Structure 1
């Protein structure tokens, strides 16, 4: 009998049954597809769902009414007609002239629908055409058949629905069997937020097979829950991450079996191809493509009690699989008036088989024997429709493309019908937009002459314009505050001539001030306002230590910058001082030590912490500040032909850094490098520049701001003495420190 079962499933009788099923499915699909409808260039259903109608109120000029007992009213000038198109918003007294009034609603005037010519009628008919709104698939998620859409939909909207599936035939599971399967799915879908949606479904199935024991196998109460996060990287393209959990009922019972819980993470992508394809007849092509890819961790085999092996009928009836699956889905839908036909392909690739699935006693071949032909593979086609608003109907057929049955995988039926209905729920009240012709009274406002203030707000110290300053009008009547432009300018409201206008100008970084301006007459008057800046404070603190890391008490810290202050360290070597924000030279000095520190910026409302290490005071003073230079009494030595400073020159360079910290008025120092005439001129120029750069880098490492020092090489072009001897050449190889710019003795004073 086992051999007969295998032969019957793969013999001519089985093939004939499959061909009959394919023919039947094709007939059903053709009957369901809409005929005679040309949809090229129509928008997609999702486009229509998100599109908001516009309300264009047509306000034709009210015709003058003829009064036989009164003379004809004079016609208003064109300027008055234009002014009367909208209601006047001015709050100042105005002279009014009124055209002949149209009858008001109280007097019995009639609000009528706008007359439409032939062209307008065609447009109206097109606007009234309903397109099928997005529906739900067999699991309750947005989509169709077995395809899930990555489009989230409108937040706070919901779907409830029921979808059923049905298949029937002979030789479906076993040779000469008769099989009938009916399933029902009660579904609920919710778009919770703009980028979050969820769905839940409860499923019941009944399978009747002549070889079943019992013949009728009922499963009721299977539950699945799905959650998706959505993202739109660019208009027309949507992606989503999906996680669905399946809770099946226990084998031969009605309760949930937690051990058989299955999981399926997926990646979803949807492209509204009309956004990327050329337009047809001036309209976007309403074609949408969907791609689903996921992995099903299928634990349904846990439904089977230990020691038992499910029959082929039981595997099919309860969807029990011995494999996990890589799942692929590709679908397309095309929006037509009232309906959207769709086409989809789904493929499951079995992986990770259960142990013993290909035992020798198995009546079917192994997956490794049949390969791709045994993969669950279906082609789906059908149509969605919306005959009345919010009611979605769907009908489709799955055509089984699987060519072989293997042990451990439920049979793919030759065909399966899926039909159902859903109802869309939107708690927000719907606004109906109706185009009307409304007769309105025309009022012509004649404004009195007015004057305006053209103002400029600047920094009182620097004269720079202040953008974002707030202008408040201290006058009768409510006037919304204004803000100055980035150029510091503003244009006031209009005021009556002869009126004095008082304003208050404020900015977070400046002291507020008030100003008054008389409006002399029509036109513009200028007003200049300057604001005093609010001093910005910051805190500088730190620790002074020696080269061994020991704190140095009673060290003097001199801060030179926007403020010029001194502070003394305590026994722990720490100091702290609040100063005006800005750039400072921080110099720390103590008896027996060389002055150290650094140039630093103290930010507003911030705290700057420094650690200053002082070096022992040298035995010999090698540096002297002169009028235009810092003179060094010892040369700076480098490796021959290179720019690397020799350690014996560190002392003199440390003293140069100390002098710069002690003398903050030296605002710009140039380090000049020179060579003798030995070697090529270009080589000497490059070498002198490299050596000057090395000295500059060393001083920066000692805490000197890089903005205070520059480096320039002169090569052999500026010798001190003729290069006539080795001694003279040695004198010409040198580094000099030229003071380029210096301020006053106290850097905190203005120059």
Structure 2
């Protein structure tokens, strides 16, 4: 069995070449075209000395039966010259028409969506297309690949000496270029570098710099409605030597592939899908790259970690690939499966008795030919086509199917997964000109319509130049509804008859008004609103389609511009409404407005002068509250007031000389910002001062301990005293009744020797300096 497979596979490159050549000769020869040629049957070839001119064809009915047995044909076909020869019989019913100009134009545009695979040939990630781009196009691609995993090459079943687990990381890049110089030929090349790190490797990092592929691909050229395409490609595999940069000639290999593509997207009833098939043979001589290293080790094979890290194989491979791609406009997803079947052409002898093989528990191909040991992978990916012409980002994921956990000494292991990402760019050196289509149409000449008369006006606020937007204008007796002014106050009616009109105008915030217009057969000579006049207003010039416009201006008297306050007074703890609360609003002009809340705590005040207002609220068993609001003309200002209940035991006591607070006002550390937990205390202080109008002037004193410099403590005490004053003013206490003074560390009430004493010295005091 082994000998049979070896013999058959040794002849596989020859068989593939012969089979592809026979297939190319047996198919319908392609019809060549040039952009701009008519999309009709090709002209017959001119007669030569060896072949007289054929007589002019006569019209005949289509044959109802198959060609006669005497029909014959002879000739030859090649990629370079097409088809030559003569034919006789029933005719060429299978011949296809050449591409039209439009088809050629679209084909060149679509060919910019074809991009390189990892070998440089156009196709999917690993599978090659039996085709290429349009003649004169080239493609360049940069691709990166990466994976990281653990317990991959060293496991319980396949240890690496004594190690039963490893950490492996891989990163690689490849740069590829492909060119389509002829309609049936593509040349390509790729340059690849990669690095593999493994925690159990010695050394841990293995790098390969500059592996190269140079290849040629031939294929059947593109034709309209061509479902099947076939081709073949040859790749020269040039490997970099270990330990440096430069090619190692002994490791040079060869890949031969037969290619086929089923292109449903090329048919007249297009389906956005292509199916690809590849069958190939790879002559792999990569083991020669490490031959000197193994000889230096006493003919000991390199380890499994080194085989994977350097991509070393001791066998050739039969390569099979099958893929499907969706050819959508902005994205082309694809799915592919590829497998490499090893064949020991090199007659490598695997000795299980060798130390490396025994330590790494590798299997031998001669004894283990099950599919589990063959490298295979499933690829899922997609290319995208953004608005930038020719650019195509790509992402793909290789998922190892077999060969990821069962290892042969002759074959490099298959990675469990690999992520690919990169960018391709395609360019057409013969950028096609867009097809311009000319179509004759009949022009219908219409008679000029009868003259149209409209009223155009602008509505201003009386006594100003302010336009009134959203005003509604109605014509007397009109059944068509009204007309609204725009943001500039301009309106225009539908067509009206000449005569006198009185227009009714209404707008929110304005008294209703009226405006008159006299529509005549001649429009005004000048448009006061900046709209150019129509060409001619003469009634005799009815051939013009422009309407005859009558322009007017209208004024509306504004209603008083007052605002309203709508609000609710609530218990801060329960959010329930507080009934019978007294609300005093001081407007922007200093006028007070008073209202009492209803049973639900709601209140409303109408006719408030626009501007900033102060809202002071008082209710039994609650502390006073002062809020600020802004009233806008003809709008409701919403104010929600939360009242804090008066504490059962007051924290603020008024004596003849001081307002004593039983708790201290807390500030942020080394700051004048009052903490939120002191809000209720501050409201209680404001309530006491507000309810004692006999107190005319209170000094707000700020004090600190002796921590820090004297200058800093003085400045901090002043800022804290002013912060308390500002809070009280913002909450309804007149600024004239307060003054703020900072004393720094100059007036301690306890020695600054303990933390408790220093806390006592950090304080705010309220000293009554003037009474009525």
TM exceeds 0.5? Answer: no
TMscore range, shorter length: 0.3 to 0.5
Q: TM-score, normalised by structure 2?
A: 0.38
Q: TM-score, normalised by structure 1?
A: 0.39
